[in-house]
Amino acid sequence: MRGADAAGRAVEARARAASGPGSEPADTPVVPESGADASARAGDGPVGASGAGGDATRADAAAAPRASAAESAASAPPSTDPAGVPTMFDVARHAGVSHQTVSRVLNDLPGVAAATRTRVRESIAALNYTPSPTARAMAQRRSGSIGLIQAGRPDYGPSSAALGFNEAAREAGYAVSQASMRTLDADVLRQAVHRLVLQRVEAIVLISGEREGIDVLRGIDAGVPLVAVASEPEPGLHRVSFDQAAGARLATEHLIGVGHRRIVHVAGPADSMDAAERRRGFAAALEAHGLEVRESFAGDWLAASGHAAGRRLLADGWATAVFVGNDQMSLGLLHACHEAGVSVPGDLSVVGFDDIPEAGYFTPALTTVRQDFDSLGRDIMATVADVLRDEAAAPDRTARVPELVVRASTAAPRG
Supply the pLDDT for residue 83: 52
Alpha-carbon span 388 to 380, nearest angstrom? 12
Summarize pLDDT for 330-347 with one digit per residue, the tens. 999 999 999 999 999 999
Supply the pLDDT for residue 18: 38
Alpha-carbon span 292 to 295, nearest angstrom? 10
Alpha-carbon span 371 to 403, nearest angstrom? 7
Alpha-carbon span 354 to 405, nearest angstrom? 10
Alpha-carbon span 378 to 161, nearest angstrom? 8
Directed axis angle between helix 57-74 and helix 186-198, to 10°? 130
364: preceding bond cis by omega (within 30 degrees):
yes
Q: Which of 352, 48, 13 is nearest to 181 (CA)?
A: 48
The count of C-alpha atoms lying within 13 angstroms of the C-alpha of 187, restricted to the half-sphere facing its C-beta, is 12
78: preceding bond cis by omega (within 30 degrees):
no
Summarize pLDDT for 133-142 with one digit per residue, the tens. 444 444 444 6
Alpha-carbon span 177 to 49, nearest angstrom? 7
Which residues have C-beta within 8 Å of that of residue 262, sequence separation ≥ 6? 291, 292, 318, 319, 320, 321
Alpha-carbon span 119 to 330, nearest angstrom? 52
Alpha-carbon span 245 to 389, nearest angstrom? 30
3-state secondary structure the chain: CHHHHHHHHHHHHHHHHHCCCCCCCCCCCCCCCCHHHHHCCCCCCCCCCECCCCCCHHHHHHHHHHHHHHHHHHCCCCCCCCCCCCCHHHHHHHHCCCHHHHHHHHCCCCECCHHHHHHHHHHHHHHCCCCCHHHHHHCCCCCCEEEEEEECCCCHHHHHHHHHHHHHHHHCCCEEEEEEECCCCHHHHHHHHHHHHHCCCCCEEEECCEHHHHHHHHCCCCCCCEEEECCCCCCCCEEEEECHHHHHHHHHHHHHHCCCCCEEEEECCCCEHHHHHHHHHHHHHHHHCCCCCCCCEECCCCHHHHHHHHHHHHHHCCCCEEEECCHHHHHHHHHHHHHHCCCCCCCCEEECCECCCCHHHCCCCCEEEECCHHHHHHHHHHHHHHHHHEHHHCCCEEEECCEEECCCCCCCCCC
Alpha-carbon span 25 to 102, nearest angstrom? 16
Supply the pLDDT for residue 367: 98
pTM here?
0.69
* Digitized pLDDT (tens) for each residue of the chain, 415 residues in all: 444 444 444 434 443 443 333 333 333 333 333 333 333 333 333 333 344 333 333 333 333 333 333 333 333 334 445 456 787 788 888 999 887 788 778 877 777 899 999 999 899 888 888 765 444 444 444 689 999 999 988 789 999 999 999 999 999 999 999 999 988 888 999 999 999 999 999 999 999 988 888 888 888 878 888 999 999 988 778 999 999 999 999 999 999 999 999 999 999 999 999 999 999 999 999 999 999 999 999 999 999 999 999 999 999 999 999 999 999 999 999 999 999 999 999 999 999 999 999 999 999 999 999 999 999 999 999 999 999 988 888 999 999 999 999 999 999 999 7
pLDDT mean across residues, the chain: 81
**Cα dist from 161 to 206, 241, 356, 375, whole Å:** 11, 10, 13, 8
Evaluate whether 92 touches 112 at the Cβ level (below 8 Å).
no
Summarize pLDDT for 248-267 with one digit per residue, the tens. 999 999 999 999 999 999 99
The count of C-alpha atoms lying within 13 angstroms of the C-alpha of 383, restricted to the half-sphere facing its C-beta, is 24
